[in-house]
A and B are shown apart, each in its own frame.
Chain A
């Protein structure tokens, strides 16, 4: 230390002293950074990136990777070009399944938004201050509980002689098939995912300045106009952040359609699981996995291009579907 201070005393040596000091500092800081992130990046590479990359490898081999030939037959089986050209949609079962999954994801996302707006408007702008913490806590708690259990709880509610049909029967109304249908999947997914929209939207509602609403009212806006002109545009970013998250998680849902969806509510992730669980066609399963990942990342990319702050939803965490 003392020698460096002597060195930098002279004018000519000062820059080299400065440079040396900056370099050691930069090295030091980078060293610290490397020691902190290095092991983690290594772990993620070995135990996350490689396993996922392994699926990409499997998807382009006939059978065992690197032993058998490289092929695109698994992707061709998903997207049969001759069927596409002849417009034989019926010959594209996997494409249709993917389309249905994305359709379900859209419906679930829209329904979640419809449910989330009133409650968050209430929580953010109307709920008494002293109850607010508790009420928000009640939305957060489901995040922390088993989605598997919360999903199968719908079986006795939706089944042929379950709670809903029991109630309809008691009212003399005809029963409706719900369990093991398209709507079974949708109800279950909305149930599991609606908190993911409620929480970021609540954050937006909370930060919405109440005087803006009063000012709009004061300028003669009706209540619906206030919502349309002030509340909705200002809270949309939060809603969209949650919506994107719900969409990508729904598109890959497995547990809910497997428990509640039956045949008409069957989704894409289930057919992937089948390839590994019962069909033992890992290569085709891997190809379908790659397609699903591409769809998810593509949706995220489009959302980001549209200016949606996807990061807003990320921090909320929870629920592994």
Chain B
């Protein structure tokens, strides 16, 4: 009986299930990408909320004249690069600290918790806290507070990515290098870092894109003179009168997706 069942399955009954699952999968992808497609469609729509969609590149052309948007994009890229560098360096150091040293049980656990708390607490709480903190210090808002907030937010993620590499790293590679006459510093430079490179690059790209797209922390600690792009987009969406928002969003999505594709090719998931 069971073999007959199996045969029936192979002959096509099973495809019902497959078909159902496949349909569900397709619908999920439509759900995931539909809104992104909508942004793309809207960015080329001549009239907005008009009854008819008409192709027009005018919003993209308008972007060139929007100095405020270009400035915010440039600021976000700058912040992203600084955050990427700082966060990645911290992540490499932290990953080795966490994975490689035998901590007395409690101290090890404490530093682990401290590093990973930022992953669980609501970002909005941190944004507000940072805002209050800088107000108290009289340092106000701007580039430096944003960078600090973003580093605290991105580097735990970056640490996880690098630490995964350090854990997987075959210790005998480093031992072999030392065995062949490389001192610890040479070993680190010649073997450890190159072997970890995919993880380090993935962590860097991840840090950059998290910072580039970050809104809530920036929302609370950005000032009049330095508004990162997500905060600018938020303002445009709330004001609801600037159709260029779709065009600039497409630019942001293209940058993020390009980085995502590069990064996911580097690292197994």
Contact = CB atoms under 8 A, between A and B. Distances in A.
Given A217-B9, A248-B120, A115 B35 contact: no
A119 B39 contact: no
B125 A138 contact: no
A149 B96 CA distance: 36
A141 B39 CA distance: 16
Given A148-B234, A217-B9, A51 B115 contact: no
Given A142-B32, A148-B233, A40 B93 contact: yes
B118 interface: yes
Contacts of A321: 123, 216
Contacts of A178: none
A76 interface: no
Contacts, number: 254
Given A149-B253, A320-B153, A218 B6 contact: yes
B101 A191 contact: no
A82 B54 CA distance: 60
Given A146-B253, A252-B122, A272-B124, A40 B28 contact: no
Contacts of B2: 217-220
Contact of B94 (A40, A51, A150, A296): A40
Contacts of B114: 41, 44-45, 49
A256 to B, nearest CB: 11
Nearest to B28: A119
Contact of B257 (A141, A154, A159): A141
Interface string A269-298: 100110010000010011001001100110
A137 B6 contact: no
Contact of B38 (A29, A144, A157, A272): A157
Contacts of B35: 150, 153-154, 157, 191
Interface stretch (B14-22, B66-74, B188-196): B14-22
Given A33-B97, A36-B94, A254-B216, A52 B126 contact: yes
Nearest to A290: B125
Interface string A120-135: 0111001100000001
A143 B25 contact: no
A43 B213 CA distance: 23
Interface residues of A, number: 91
A122 B122 contact: no
Given A119-B28, A317-B206, A320-B153, A29 B101 contact: yes
B169 interface: no
B261 to A, nearest CB: 7
Contact of B213 (A138, A147, A163): A147
Contact of B90 (A40, A48, A220): A40
B237 interface: yes
A156 interface: yes
B127 to A, nearest CB: 9
A314 B115 CA distance: 12
A254 B124 contact: yes
A118 interface: yes
Interface in B205-241: 206, 209-210, 213-217, 220, 230, 233-234, 237
A51 B93 contact: no
B224 to A, nearest CB: 15
A255 B34 CA distance: 20
A141 B94 contact: no
A195 B120 contact: no
17 contacts: A36-B94, A37-B97, A39-B93, A44-B114, A47-B148, A48-B117, A55-B132, A118-B21, A121-B21, A138-B32, A142-B32, A144-B260, A146-B213, A147-B213, A157-B35, A297-B121, A320-B153
